[in-house]
Structure 1
Amino acid sequence: MTQRTDVVVIGGGQAGLAAGYHLRRLGIDHVILDAWTAPGGAWQHTWNSLCLFSPAQHSSLPGRLMPVQEGELYPDAAHVVAYLADYEKRYELPVQRGVWVDAVRRDGTHRQVDSDAGDWRARAVIGATGTWTRPFIPAVPGRREFAGRQLHMVQYRSPSEFAGQRVIVVGGGNSGAQIAADLAHAGAGLTWVTRRRPRYLADDIDGRALFDAATARRRALDEGRADWRCPPEAAAKRQVALCHQSDARSGVLGRGSGTGAVRLAVKSAWACSTASGYASRLVCSVRAR
């Protein structure tokens, strides 16, 4: 039997929970369908060293501050999972777990949502699935002939399994950079391939600084002032943050690696970082001779 509601939210990670929070506040009947059997979204399946890029107070969902993780400026994945589970419980969000949505179809002025746990008819559907369960693997010429191990970043867990091997990390986004650093510090012979020359940020530029800059800009626009991209007091820092420091920083990334430094193959044709974000990163390895 088809169930009815006003809104179906597909996905129970941070985006789906935030949507549910606002729908609940507005008194709109809704259901959140999530494929995972436990709360936490993709954070419960990430690699071991992954952490937030901003302090807890800048990483909260609407309505509830994320608590600080004791001894850590940037909370790790386990802390994020615990926060999301508590958030879901605190606001009594109507999450149905272990539900896989097969299709969304038009049904007159409504939408029909087909799932393996039954069908729903709703006035609106919010897609909050993320990309973790549908990783994009680019069609790189020669990939099928490559005899070494190939894996997507969603399969990466720890650099220990690559010790003593030569590894190519493809992609210049956050995930590609963090996995490259992870491998370099663990002693893998690393080559990092990016589409464009990497732009290295100063150590004190994190999500907090970017959040403050975006907030200041938004406030200026709301007050009718000129559109400036960065607060004046951060202008000098921004010049430093956006400059290319590959020579100095490559040595840092490469400390302990088999090659002694990260090689930035920025002009390689095999640069397949795509608009799908961190879910497009590909890690390939070949055993050392």
Structure 2
Amino acid sequence: MNPTRTTEVVVIGGGQAGLAMSQCLTSRSIDHVVLERGETANSWRTERWDSLRLLTPNWLARLPGWSYQGDDPDGYMSAADVVAYLDAYRRSIDAPIITGVEVSRIASSNDGHVVDTTHGPWSARAVVMATGACSNPHVPAIAADMPEHIEHITPIRYRNPEQLRESGVLVVGASASGLQIADELSRSGRDVTLAVGDHVRLPRTYRGMDIHWWMDAIGQLDERFDEVDDIDRARRLPSLQLVGSPERRNLDLTTVAANGVALTGRLVGRNGDRAQFSGSFANMAKSADLKQQRLLDRLDDYATEHGLDAELDEPTRPAHTAMPAPMLDLDLRGIDTIVWATGFRPHYPWLEPNLLDQKGRLVHDGGVLTVPGMYVLGLPFMRRRKSSFLDGAGPDANDLAEHLASYLARDIARSHH
């Protein structure tokens, strides 16, 4: 039996969120440890496909006390670049990280929290879960109803086209991951069908500037969780249809269709040898086009109000999504692989069930859990619209570290009475 070790705060997860929190705790002289199941930036090392790049430009990779120092600020880091970036950050802040440690249970009481791990227990007065939002791919129940010959794969297990059989592929989900994988598989010569649901379409650049430059400029990335009408819906929004590439190319449904990808609506069922799709494609595409136009109108207004029109390119708008004739079913005998790019569900097997809602989602208020001294960091739109970006980890970690520091001070005051 390993003896119980004691610290003020246990941070679970050694990616950008965990490291940002470590720096914020260090700057407040709060004793802590960071527990990581693999190596620093583990998911970037082990759960990304070969050609993947960040959707945000390098200049937006800001962390507390750390920023991009390379010679390509407008480029997009590969997964290996992100690993190197986070490794360098960990060394610069001298984070107290212990790698190769799995958490099995967190038991909370009035006296604090005991974190059970594969290397023995830790006792702490506060716990921050910074394991990210992309560790547990969501595969819908319909997958179990597919023919036995079909191989199933999720984005965290996909690496490159060579890994898949040569025949037809159905990609389910058309946000960033699904669209990029469908595009890559089609370019490799495979016959690809893409099932499209709700999606968010934006150009990679607008009027000569990266779309994230605009979102940063108008304050959209900093929009807070307590400022939006429906935070639950905002947190469920699909990731933007974008790709990070050296040529800053657009990637949308029209682009992939031009490259040979067959587009259809949401996958809704199977009837014998045929997959069935809803007739919703045209409405989904029109809705995404309309929302894109509204945002670009807002960007034009911002440019005019701030006297930027002369410095920027002309406001040329992307064409409307090309509407193929709706395909309502597909012969599954020609499909050997389904890629389920259907999002992620955070996974907290070590938590008490009362901390989760009926869908297994964590109940929190901007990262503060109902149990005193427990926090979560790195989820989509947790405190800001950019919460799950590299650039969002720092401001969120700073807010929560402030809350945590006051909680510890109150806790000490209580114990002295």
Interval containing the TM-score (normalised by the shorter chain) = 0.7 to 0.9
- Displacement after TM superposition at 1:275 (Å): 6.2
The letter for the 2-side match of 1:211 is D
1:9-24 to 2 correspondences below 5 Å: 9-24=11-26
**Distance verdict in 2 for CA 1:266–1:20, change over 3 Å:** same
- The residue that corresponds to 1:74 in the other structure is 76
**1-side partners of 2:122 and 2:163: how far apart?**
44
- Correspondence list, 1:9-88, <5 A: 9-36=11-38, 38-45=39-46, 46-68=48-70, 70=72, 73-88=75-90
2:108 counterpart (99, 106, 109): 106
- Contact 2:59/2:73 (CA < 8 Å) preserved in 1? no
Matched, 1:252 2:255: yes
Identify the match of residue 213 of structure 2 among 198, 208, 215.
Answer: 208
For 1:276, the aligned partner's letter is F
TM-score, normalised relative to structure 2: 0.53
The structure whose Rg is larger is 2
Q: 1:42 to 1:162 in 2, by over 3 A?
A: same
Give me the identity figure in percent. 31
Matching residue within 132, 136, 140 for 1:134: 136
Quote how far apart the aligned CAs of 1:249 are: 4.9
CA, structure 1 residues 69+115, in 2 after alignment: closer, same or farther (shift >3 Å)? farther
Query: Are the equivalent residues in 2 in contact too, given 1:2–1:118 (CA < 8 A)?
Result: yes
Is contact 1:185-1:254 (8 Å) kept? no
Q: Normalising by the residue count of structure 1, what TM-score does the alignment of the two structures yield?
A: 0.75
d(CA) in 1 for partners of 2:120, 2:222: 46
User: What's the C-alpha RMSD, in Å, of the aligned pairs?
Assistant: 3.2
In the TM superposition, residue 126 of structure 1 has moved relative to its aligned partner by 0.6
Structure 2, unmatched stretches of 5+, are 230-241, 243-250, 270-276, 278-339, 348-417
Matched-pair contact (CA < 8 Å) for 1:56–1:75: yes
Please list, as runs of the form range in 1=range in 2, the aligned pairs for 1:142-181 lying within 5 A after superposition. Answer: 142-143=144-145, 145-162=147-164, 164-181=166-183
Q: Distance in 2 between matches of 1:209 and 1:22?
A: 28
Mean Cα deviation higher: 209-218 or 141-150:
209-218
CA distance in 2, matches of 1:8, 1:146: 44
2:317 is aligned to none
Go from structure 1 to structure 2 and tell me whether the alpha carbon gap of 1:268 and 1:144 turns closer, same or farther (over 3 Å shift): closer
Give the deviation of 1:199 after TM superposition: 3.8
2:219 is paired with a residue whose SS is helix
Structure 1 unaligned segments of length 5 or more: list them: 228-240, 242-247, 280-289
Aligned to 2:260: 261
Aligned residue-pair number = 249
1:276 equivalent to 2:344? Answer: yes
* d(CA) in 2 for partners of 1:263, 1:48: 24
Aligned to 1:284: none
Q: Which residue is 2:407 aligned to?
A: none
**Aligned-pair CA distance for 1:87:** 0.4
